[in-house]
Amino acid sequence: MLRKWGFFILGCALILAGSMLAHAIQTSGGVTLRDARFVGDGGKVQSGLIYQPASATPAHPAPAVLVSHGYINTREMQSPFAIELARRGFVVLAMDMIGHGYSEGAVTLGPGQNLGGPAALSYLQSLPYVDKANIGLEGHSMGGIPIATAAAAQPDGYKAIVFEGSTPAFLGATTPASLKNLAVVFGQYDEFAPLMWGVPKGSLVATSPKLAKAFGIAGPVEVGKIYGAIGDGSARVLENPPVTHPWEHFSRAGVGGAVDWFQKTLVGEASPLAPNDQIWLWKEIGTAAAFAGFICLLIGTFEVLLLTPVFASLNVPAQPVADIRGGKWWLAALLTAAVPALTFYPLMKVGVFFFPMQLFPQSVQNQLIVWALVNALISLLLGLVLRGGKPSFTTNWPKSIGIAAATMAVGYLSLVIVDAAFKTDYRFWVLGLKPLDARHAVMAIPYFVLWTVYFLIALRALCASLAVKGEGFMFQAGAWKLAMSLGFLVLLIVEYATMFQTGFLFTPTEPLNTIVAIQFVPLLAVVGAIAAITYRRTNSYVPGALICALLLSWYVTAGTATHWYPGFKLPTPSSAGGSPSRAK
C-alpha cells in the first residue's frame, strides 16, 4: 500500500503543509489577502493582490504602497515586499503589469505606454481604508515603468518612490522631471547596470551621471546618505547591496531597503519594525515545499492510475538496450547535458525572429520553442551518429494520452484548491507555477503542440541512450536529472562565478537570458525525474513526454509576458534584436 501510494501521500502532505505555512506568513498579524480586478486604459481589465492589515479601516485609513514586478514575472514576485510592508501596517497593491499575469493586453513600449501603473494607482486610492496622502510606489526592473508613469500621471498622488534594480525613464517611460522622495536600490552585481544607469557594473552605480542628475548633485552619490528633505519631497538615497538583479527582490538587503524608505517617508503605519525584521522567506519555503509536493503528486498520481483497470495494460517493465555504462553511455550523457546549454544563447537570439502572432503571442516562449525544436533536431541527428542497439518501446497512444491528461488534471486541481483555500501557488524565487485563466488556457494549446514535438523526441532519445538494465530507480532518476540539468547548472556557475569575481557576467551581453536560464536547472531536473519513472513503469517515452509538454506549456504561458495584440506590426530585422524583450 505505502509503496504504491507513497509518492501520492507525500505530495499531498507537502502541498498542505507548505501552503499552510505560506498562508500563515503572508497573513501574519491579521493581514487579509484578496484578489483584485479593476479597469484600466482602453477598458483593459487589470489584476492585483491586495494586502490589507487589520489596522487599516475606513475609520482609520492606513498608508499604502503600489508595488510592481519586472518583465516576464507576475504580481506574486513582489510578495516579499508586500508581506513585510503589510505586517508593518501598510496596505499593499501588488499589480500585474499590462500583458502579464491576469492583466489583459500586451507589452508594447513607446509613447503613451504605461503598463497599467496610473490605473493601478487610481484603484489603490479608491480603497476606503487607504490614506490617500501617504502612498508610496515601488517597482523592480521593468516595474519601474508603471510606477514612473503613475507618478507622472499624478504628481501629487504619491509621497515616495523606490526604484528597485530599475531607473527613471526606463525604455522611454514618461517620468516626472522631479520625483518625490526617491530611493534607488541597485545591486553591486546587477546584470543590467549599463542599460539602467549607464555604468559598466552595478558596484559603480554611485558614479552614474544619470543618478547624479536624478539626485540633483554634481558629483558621485554617497551610498546610504540621505540628500534633501523628506518634508518637501526632495529626499534622495542610494542603497547598493551586494546582490544580483533577481536577488534585489529576494534578499533581506533588497527588501529591507524599500521597507526602510517607506517607513521613513510615509506616516501612520500601525506596527513599525526594524528593516531587518523579515519573515517573508518562510513563505517562499512553504511554497517551495508545495512545489516539491506537486511534483511528487504528479508521480504518485501516475503510479496510482496504473493500478486502475483503465490503465493497467500500460504496466510493462522497461526494456533498456545497454547492459552497462560504457563509453557510448557516457558520451550520450555528456551530449544530453552540454548541447542544450551550449545552444541556449545562440538559439534564443535566433528565436527573436519567431515574432509574436495571434496563435503564438508570447515572444519569450517563442524563443524557447525555437531553442527546443532545434535541440530536438540535433537529438535526432546525434541518434543517427551514435546509433547503438535498437530500443524496443511499448506504446499505447490512446491510453498514454489518457493517463497523461488525468495525471496533469489531478496536479492542476491541487493548485486550484490551494489558490482558493490559501491564496498561494507553487513557487520559489524565479520559479513559479500559477493557475491559468481562460485567456491563457486557450493561449497554451498551440504551444502545447510544439512542446509535445520537442519532448517526444527528447525523451525518446533519453530512454534509448541512458537507460541501463538492472539499475535501481533512485540511481536512474538521479542520473537522468543530472543529464538534463547539469549543463545549465555549469553554465550558471561559470556566469556568476565570473560576475562575483569581476562584476561582469561571463557573457555580459546576455543578462536576460542568463536570468531566464536559472529556471532551467530545477525544471529540467523535474523532466528527468518524470521521464525516469514513466519509462520504468510503461517501457514508453510517450506518457512522460505528454506530461512534460503539458507542464511546460502551462508553466511558461502562465508566467511570461504576452506581446501580440490586434494590429501588431512585425518589427524590422534591424530592430528585432533590440526589442523590449531584451530588457527585464
Residue with cell 496504473: 306
- CA-nearest of 552, 537, 518, 527 to 462 is 527
Helices (H), 172-279: 193-197, 209-215, 252-265
Report residue 527's pLDDT band, with 50, 70 and 90 as the boundaries.
Answer: very high
Helices (H), 154-197: 193-197
The rounded radius of gyration (Å) of the Cα atoms in the chain is: 25
The larger pLDDT score, comparing residue 502 to residue 322, is at: 502
Q: What value, to the nearest 5°, has the Cα angle with vertex 499 and ends 495 and 503?
A: 150
The larger pLDDT score, comparing residue 401 to residue 572, is at: 401
Looking at residue 278, its amino acid is: Q
Is residue 582 predicted with pLDDT exceeding 60?
A: no
pLDDT score for 326: 86
Q: Pairing between strand 182-185 and 130-140?
A: unpaired
Question: 18-32, 167-181, 375-389, 495-509: which range is least confident on average?
Answer: 375-389
Is residue 581 predicted with pLDDT exceeding 90?
A: no
Tell me which H or E stretch contains 364.
helix 363-385
106-128: pLDDT as tens digits: 998 777 789 999 999 999 999 99
Q: What value, to the nearest 5°, has the Cα angle with vertex 194 and ends 189 and 198?
A: 120
Query: What mean pLDDT comes out for the span 197-205?
Result: 97
Residue with cell 555549469: 490
pLDDT score for 287: 98
* Cβ proximity of 29 and 53 under 8 Å: yes
Query: What mean pLDDT comes out for the span 291-318?
Result: 97
Count other C-beta atoms under 10 Å from residue 389's C-beta.
11
User: CA-to-CA distance for 227 and 329, rounded, in angstroms?
Assistant: 63
Report residue 386's pLDDT band, with 50, 70 and 90 as the boundaries.
Answer: confident
3-state secondary structure of 105: coil
Looking at residue 279, its amino acid is: I
212-239 as b/e: b if 16+ CB within 10 A: eebbeeeebbeeeeeebebeebbbbbbb
319-336: pLDDT as tens digits: 998 888 888 889 999 999
Tell me which H or E stretch contains 432.
strand 431-433
First to last CA, the chain: 48
347 half-sphere exposure, CB direction, 13 A CA radius = 21
56-78: pLDDT as tens digits: 999 999 999 999 999 999 999 99
User: CA-to-CA distance for 229 and 232, rounded, in angstroms?
Assistant: 6
pLDDT score for 579: 38
Question: 228-237, 472-481, 554-563: which range is least confident on average?
Answer: 472-481
Residues forming beta bridges with residue 66, ordered by sequence position: 93, 137
- φ, ψ for residue 33, nearest 5 deg: -115, 130
Report residue 305's pLDDT band, with 50, 70 and 90 as the boundaries.
Answer: very high
Is residue 571 predicted with pLDDT exceeding 80?
A: no
Domains observed in the chain: 34-278 (3.40.50.1820), 283-564 (no CATH)
Is residue 316 predicted with pLDDT exceeding 90?
A: yes
* Cβ proximity of 44 and 37 under 8 Å: no
Report residue 391's pLDDT band, with 50, 70 and 90 as the boundaries.
Answer: confident
pLDDT score for 572: 55
Q: What letter does residue 93 receive in the DSSP assignment?
A: E
The larger pLDDT score, comparing residue 322 to residue 343, is at: 343
pLDDT score for 323: 84
Query: What mean pLDDT comes out for the span 207-225?
Result: 95
Is residue 38 predicted with pLDDT exceeding 90?
A: yes
Query: What mean pLDDT comes out for the span 224-247?
Result: 97
Query: What mean pLDDT comes out for the span 287-304?
Result: 98
Question: 93-97, 404-408, 574-578: which range is least confident on average?
Answer: 574-578
Helices (H), 117-229: 117-126, 144-153, 193-197, 209-215
pLDDT score for 573: 46
Q: Which residues contact 316 (CB under 8 A, 6 or more apart)?
A: 394, 538, 539, 540
Q: Which residues contact 493 (CB under 8 A, 6 or more apart)?
A: none
Residue with cell 554617497: 222
Question: Chain-wide mean pLDDT for the chain?
Answer: 94
User: CA-to-CA distance for 473 and 529, rounded, in angstroms?
Assistant: 10
Cell numbers describing residue 222: 554617497
Residues forming beta bridges with residue 189, ordered by sequence position: 244
163-188 as b/e: b if 16+ CB within 10 A: bbbbbbebeebbbbeebbbbbbbbbb
Query: What mean pLDDT comes out for the span 136-162?
Result: 97
Is residue 454 predicted with pLDDT exceeding 50?
A: yes
* Cβ proximity of 94 and 101 under 8 Å: no
Query: What mean pLDDT comes out for the span 466-489?
Result: 93
- By residue count, the chain amounts to 584
- CA-nearest of 369, 582, 372, 333 to 482 is 333
Q: Which residues contact 380 (CB under 8 A, 6 or more apart)?
A: 457, 461
pLDDT score for 382: 87
Q: What value, to the nearest 5°, has the Cα angle with vertex 41 and ends 38 and 45?
A: 35
